[in-house]
Structure 1
């Protein structure tokens, strides 16, 4: 002991100092590791909490939002679109296009406020066996109609609000002029002015200003503000399109239309049209006059049932095929698709005569020789005698 009785300090050895430092380092590392585990655990807990919050928002948020005043897009698309209860309210006009589909027609009606949705309309369309026969045109209907009622309205011709022009095969230009005047309510003089404006009507140059044969037959629906000029342009364009579709060359158009009009005016049954076309070709090839009463009637302005006399056949008109060789200068009427087809594909026949021996049954006899034709004349005379 020292003078005060305390034990003297003893300096540590080198080995003891090393052990002390290692123990301190281990303790420090253990402390750091414990701190890292604590931080990681805290982060993990935080992630789990945030994930739980997002899960609740995802699974229950749609219900929360759908209860607000602004419905979500999901809620809107799931709601069924119902039909209008009908019978309808404010009058409205809709136009049915010439080439349309149930979907396009439904969209047109939806835009006009007539039906509630395209889906409702197409469903009603599918249930109506007559719906596909809805004709093009402008119709008077009502807003907010039942889809089935809208279809019924479009099927009713009484609801057509446009100008309907009926051009039948076999009509002549004077007859068509009368029809245009009647439909449009304008005078014949104004209709004549429309015919004179060949640039606006689109009459081809090869027609030489003659409309016969160039006015396609059919039922046309025009807007209430349509003019005779616009109507003629539509008919001419339809004929040009038809000829082009059949492959008729421009230089052959007049001849084809003229022959087809002669076939048309004979009033024959469909199965005889190609035979008549063959007779026309055979007589033209032989240089023999066509000698058709239909051309004489046209020259004289007579109806189809007019009985042509021998004196009539002396008429000097260039349309008289008794007095003139070859085809007349133009067609003599409108022509049907069937007549055009007959001219483009005539029968394989040597006949140079044909005669309708029974106007009631429309029976036609074809003859290769004049002797055979005389037999047909006798049969026709017998029919006349039997029928007064």
Structure 2
């Protein structure tokens, strides 16, 4: 029997022949090879797809990291705040502090709704040559004003809402009380009560309870709620501050203010005040009567332009420097900074007399001897005769 007959049943071929076992094995191996190729191709395709995805992710991730490391700044522009069109609406009060900068003042005006922005106000401030002279105080203005109009309003004293008190050099306490009553509406009786409170007003002990000379001349701005005691305290504090700045010891304050008030009342030019103080100091040191009409006027309550008679000069009053040696008991008026400085540092001079021989031009003649002094008096009389 043929050996191929022993392989068992087979599959008929197209030509009717039955394939051998070897052919079947070959067919199986070919099918397995094709399967391996398909699997390999699938693996390769998968690898390519994964690689492509990884590449895309990598490149995009790199861009993202690069963007994080070097962020792109986006420029934003903000439109400048425009000025209010004006003229203004609701009235409002604003307070200007002393020595305030334009920026700080502008910020306070913005807070009050007066101007639109600090930048707009500062620009308008720089365009107004008078802006730097805005005085401290409380002003009546309006909300939503043009910045330029707001500056104009602050430059106008008529818009000051507070109380402005002007104390000029040479005023006496009664004259100051009259001015305070006129400006504040407080009665003289109420002011007398305020002046009586020496602790509240801060009057120094060396003043001996006398306010004369201790109220500093100047312009004072008080709010509507300021009490008379607070006003007086501010005026006295200014004098004490000036004395301290000049190096005047507390025990010398009264003498300096008193001498300064005598210099003030002579009404000479500031350039002659130190020399006048020098003459008065020489007479005080030599126990010579000062013989000043100004002290007699003060004692009698006369005005500065009232004539002083011989009878007046013989009236025995503490302030009569024709009868009493040395300085009077207290100053006789407020003292200007120039007269105060003259009293702090009197000129060194041998002169013992002085006469204002021309009261209009304020010409002063100084002399060492009584004879020269008499000649100066004759010159003064000649001026009076010529000028009626």
> 3-state DSSP class of the match of 2:327?
coil
Counterpart-to-counterpart distance in 1, 2:285 and 2:170: 26
- What SS is found at the alignment partner of 1:140? strand
Tell me the distance in 2 between the aligned counterparts of 1:173 and 1:150.
Answer: 38
Report Cα offsets for 1:270-294 as digits up to 9, x if no partner. Answer: 1110110100111111110111111
**Contact (CA 8 Å) 1:164, 1:221: kept in 2 or not?**
yes
Aligned residue number for residue 170 of structure 2 = 170
Residue aligning to 2:208: 208
Q: Distance in 2 between matches of 1:60 and 1:343?
A: 73
How many aligned positions are there? 349
1:51 positional shift: 5.5
Distance (Å, rounded) in 2 between the aligned partners of 1:270 and 1:95 = 35
Judged with a 3 Å threshold, the aligned counterparts in structure 2 of structure 1 residues 40 and 287 are, in CA distance, closer, same or farther, namely farther
Partner of 1:290: 290
Aligned positions of 1:321-336 closer than 5 A: 321-336=321-336
Query: Partners in 2 of 1:272 and 1:60 — Cα distance?
Result: 75
Residue of structure 2 in register with 1:46 after alignment: 57
Q: Distance in 2 between matches of 1:301 and 1:47?
A: 104
5+ residue gaps, structure 1:
7-30, 64-73
Give SS of 1:234's match: helix
Q: 5 Å matches for 1:198-347?
A: 198-347=198-347
Structure 1 residues 40, 208: closer, same or farther in 2, change over 3 A?
farther
Residue 20 of structure 1 corresponds to which residue in structure 2? none
Which moves more between the two structures, 268-277 or 49-58? 49-58
Structure 1 residue 99: deviation in Å? Answer: 2.4
1:227 CA drift (Å): 1.6
Counterparts of 1:101-116 in structure 2, within 5 Å, are: 101-116=101-116
Give the Cα–Cα distance (whole angstroms) in 2 for the partners of residues 202 and 208 of structure 1.
12
Contact 1:90 1:142 in 2 (8 A): yes
Aligned-residue Cα RMSD (Å) equals 2.7
Secondary structure at the residue paired with 2:234? Answer: helix
1:115-143 deviation per Cα after TM superposition (whole angstroms, max 9, x unaligned): 11111111111110111111111111000
What is the deviation of 1:47?
Answer: 3.8
2:373 matches 1:373: yes
CA deviation map 1:273-320 (0-9, x unaligned) = 011010011111111011111111110111111111111111221111
Name the SS for the 2:144 alignment partner.
coil
**Paired residues of 1:184 and 1:227 also in contact (CA < 8 A):** no
Aligned partner of residue 311 in structure 1, secondary structure: helix
Instruction: Give 1:62 deviation, angstroms.
Output: 5.9
Please tell me whether the aligned partners of residues 92 and 143 of structure 1 are also in contact (alpha carbons under 8 angstroms): yes
Call closer, same or farther: CA 1:165–1:48 in 2, change over 3 Å: same
Alpha-carbon deviation of 1:361?
1.1
How far apart in 2 are the matches of 1:44 and 1:368?
Answer: 113
Q: Given the two structures, how large is their TM-score scaled by the length of structure 1?
A: 0.84
Partner of 1:133: 133
8 Å CA contact 1:171–1:334 kept in 2: the answer is yes
List structure 1 runs of 4+ shifted beyond 4 angstroms: 3-6, 37-44, 50-63
Q: How does 1:15-164 map to 2 (within 5 A)?
A: 42-50=53-61, 52=63, 74=76, 78-164=78-164
For normalisation by structure 2, the TM-score amounts to: 0.84
- Describe the SS at the equivalent of 2:310: coil
In 2: Cα distance, 1:206 partner to 1:147 partner: 50
Partner of 2:384: 384
Partners in 2 of 1:232 and 1:195 — Cα distance? 8
